[in-house]
Amino acid sequence: MQQISAIDRLFSQLDGGLRAAFGPPPSGTRPSPAENLEIAELDAAERRLTAGLMRINHTGEVCAQALYAGQAATARSGDVRDRMAEAAREEEDHLAWCAERLEELGSRPSLFNPLWYAGSFSFGAAAGLAGDPWSLGFVEATERQVESHLDEHLERLPPQDQRSRAIVAQMKEDEARHAQMARDHGATILPAPVQKLMAFTAGIMKAVAYRI
């Protein structure tokens, strides 16, 4: 029965992944932070910059869905699975907000999202198989790196683009909470070489997603 349960979880998470990578944008459970903010006038260069940054953020949320799905599928503890599922629901909100903003900017998500999803799901599943403390450590390290790049985006986004800035600021707040959740539940600090590999991989994703 345990084996069937694990297989069921795996297929359930993969189904969610296919919808995240290939399906229409999710509706989200929370209203967008940009909902009541005015759409700013952006020149061509500002629009390209903003679209590129929001495409990176959208791809990051596809990867987050994959990471949490892989970890939830292989987590040993029911409590950890529940925590991963809760975080994944918030990441789904982020995915919806970024997709909506890209559409407003007349742009589109990265064409490589299915590839990013597959790689991130594999990383998440491997982290889960290594044990819950390592899996939570992976969450904590990932979310700290995401917080850092969202800070960078807040510095680079046009000051008048309050819609994009509100979305990114709320995402940053949620990611910080996810990192704290992982620490509170016994995350193991990942070795420095692993964290450097994660940062290197994220750098490639950001460089490609910004343009394609």
Segment 153-179 mean pLDDT: 94
Element (H, E) at 115: helix 113-129
Domain CATH code at residue 15: 1.20.1260.10
Please report, in angstroms and rounded to a whole number, the separation of the first and last CA atoms in the chain: 44
**Do the domain assignments include residue 189?**
yes
Please state, in angstroms and rounded to a whole number, the distance separating the CA atoms of residues 176 and 164.
19
**Do the domain assignments include residue 105?**
yes
| 44 has a pLDDT exceeding 80 | yes
Q: Given this model, what pLDDT does residue 49 score?
A: 96
Of 12-26, 88-102, 167-181, 192-206, the least confident: 12-26
Segment 122-145 mean pLDDT: 87
| 40 has a pLDDT exceeding 70 | yes
**Do the domain assignments include residue 102?**
yes
Q: Given this model, what pLDDT does residue 68 score?
A: 81
Per-residue pLDDT tens over the stretch 115-127: 888 888 888 888 8
The count of structural domains within the chain is 1
CA of residue 170 relative to chain centroid, distance: 13
**Do the domain assignments include residue 33?**
no
Torsion of CA 6, 12, 14, 16, to 10 degrees: -150
**Do the domain assignments include residue 35?**
no
Print the domain residue range for 123: 2-28+42-211
**Do the domain assignments include residue 36?**
no
**Do the domain assignments include residue 112?**
yes
| 84 has a pLDDT exceeding 80 | no
Segment 146-166 mean pLDDT: 95
Q: pLDDT class for 3, splitting at 50, 70, 90?
A: very low
Q: Given this model, what pLDDT does residue 42 score?
A: 94
**Do the domain assignments include residue 52?**
yes
What letter does residue 46 receive in the DSSP assignment? H
